[in-house]
Structure 1
Amino acid sequence: MIEKILKNNQAVIAGEIISDFEFNHEVFGEGFYFVKLKVSRLSHSSDIIPLLVSERLIDVKQSHIGQFLEARGQFRSHNKQESDKNRVVLFLFAKEIEMIDSAENRNPNEIFLDGYICKEPVYRTTPLGREIADVLLAVNRAYGKSDYIPCICWGRNARYAGNLTVGSRIQLRGRIQSREYQKRIGEGKVVDKIAYEVSASQMEYIEEEE
């Protein structure tokens, strides 16, 4: 059962471990490690989602590549200082994990968020006429912290989101997705990057009580 404090940010993903565990940080002697999970889509493509796991939940010294895992927790953001720039890192913080035989017969990727729009939504249409809205959602966490989660809405949800203002509270359900893109750095040099976001399938505006 996900504890009460997490009700505004609940995610579950299931997939194949495709990397070894890489040390990230330590809190009160407890080590936390990143590992990459390959999560299948219905379209037979897949998302590569970073998972932050405590060493108390799994033996991080062993390689688990090729094994399957289900993780429940929160989708979080972290500002990482790199040279003279801040880079936002997005990942699933695992509260519970379970080793599984395969991700079949499970919903491998589901997230619920309850938060506040913290940047003017951007509504647009693709060259093929598909409607999209980009929404940045601030989701409160314990100890006065917040996670800033980029979300994408489609169709009617996109039109609706495009009319919302900064400070609006919304709840949405969807899935975590990874998206590869190329970034030009310097003259003629291009690097491959991966962006992470929530693709919303359901969205609801929440009227705040006075």
Structure 2
Amino acid sequence: MSQVKGENQGMLRGEVLAVPKLSHHNHGVDYYLVPFRVPRLSGAEDVVNLVVSQPQAELWQPGNWLEVGGEVRSYNNRSGQGSRLVITMLVREVLQAHCREGENHLLLAGALCKPPVARRTPLGREICDLLLAVNRPYGRADYLPCIAWGSVANRCAQMEVGDRLRLEGRLQSRQYHKMVEGERQTRTAYEISIMNLLPQSEEEE
């Protein structure tokens, strides 16, 4: 697979649901996990996990509405509990929000690392599942599950492994049920909902 210049920008506006909880320590910096609620226009909502370094206590209080900018990150969960692929947003910037309307906007560019999986809903609407590899500046990559609908899904289904893809979308959460040792468990999956496919940037031409 040829190397693709990564693009990974996100902006969320929503509500802090809990105080930051220590997640991990890396290169001398403590990182904290914060659940963050982002309402949709439809009335549904996405609850996503933010990763924040050295959070300011006065900003990160439950009930506060914030605007955050950052990058979508993925890592493999080897604990045996919950989803194996964990998706978060690494916060680079944060501001107090001036309104209480949800905002959820991503720009991503990378390469397909698995064949697209096309299917249809029972009502016949087209869906396509993708796995996008978005390179980081220092050699690693984030592997992000994506889903497309309708005409966008049809276009995505024609793509092949290694094809470059640049998209506009949102980070969404959805709940599903899984049977574990005879017990029905509710779990949460995170994915990128593709809204539009965009032209490649000049650097990728």
TM-score by length of 1: 0.87
Aligned residue among 66, 70, 73 for 1:69: 66
Deviations 1:76-97 (A, max 9, x none): 1011221599921100000011
Instruction: Work out whether 1:136 is the aligned partner of 2:131.
Output: yes
Question: Structure 1, residues 51-91: CA drift from partner, whole Å, max 9, x if none?
Answer: 00011x4228x860011111100011011221599921100
Taking only the aligned residue pairs, the percentage that are identical comes to 38
The aligned residue for residue 3 of structure 1 is: none
Pair 1:84–1:201, CA change in 2 (3 A): closer
Task: Between the two structures, name the one with larger relative contact order (CA 8 Å, sep ≥ 6).
Answer: 2
**2:68, 2:82 → 1: CA distance?**
31
Contact 2:65 2:100 in 1 (8 A): yes
How far apart are the structure 2 equivalents of 1:165 and 1:24? 36
SS in 1 for 2:138: helix
Q: Is residue 12–residue 73 contact of structure 1 (8 Å, CA) maintained in 2? A: yes
After superposition, where does 1:36-185 map in structure 2 within 5 Å?
36-55=35-54, 57-59=55-57, 64-83=61-80, 87-104=84-101, 108-185=103-180
Q: 1:130 deviation in Å?
A: 1.1
| Contact persistence 1:139–1:148 (CA under 8 A) | yes
State the shift of 1:17 in Å: 0.6
Contact 1:36 1:48 in 2 (8 A): yes
Partner letter of residue 59 of structure 1?
Answer: A
Root-mean-square deviation over aligned CA pairs: 2.3
TM-score, normalised to structure 2, is 0.89
Q: For residue 15 of structure 1, what is the aligned residue in structure 2? A: 14
Pair 1:85–1:49, CA change in 2 (3 A):
closer
Gaps of 5+ in 2: none
Q: How much has 1:100 moved relative to structure 2?
A: 2.0
SS of the residue corresponding to residue 82 of structure 1 reads coil
Pair 86,70 (structure 1): closer, same or farther in 2 beyond 3 Å: closer
Q: Aligned in 2, Cα 1:154/1:20: closer, same or farther, shift over 3 Å?
A: same
Is the contact between residue 169 and residue 205 of structure 1 (CA under 8 Å) also seen in structure 2? no
Q: Distance in 1 between matches of 2:196 and 2:133?
A: 17
Report Cα offsets for 1:164-210 as digits up to 9, x if no partner: 100000101011110000111112x111100011111101474965x
Are residues 66 and 45 of structure 1, via their aligned partners in 2, closer, same or farther at CA, if it must alter by over 3 Å? same
The answer to whether the 8 Å contact 2:6/2:110 transfers is: no
> CA shift at 1:132, angstroms?
0.5
AA matched with 2:57: D
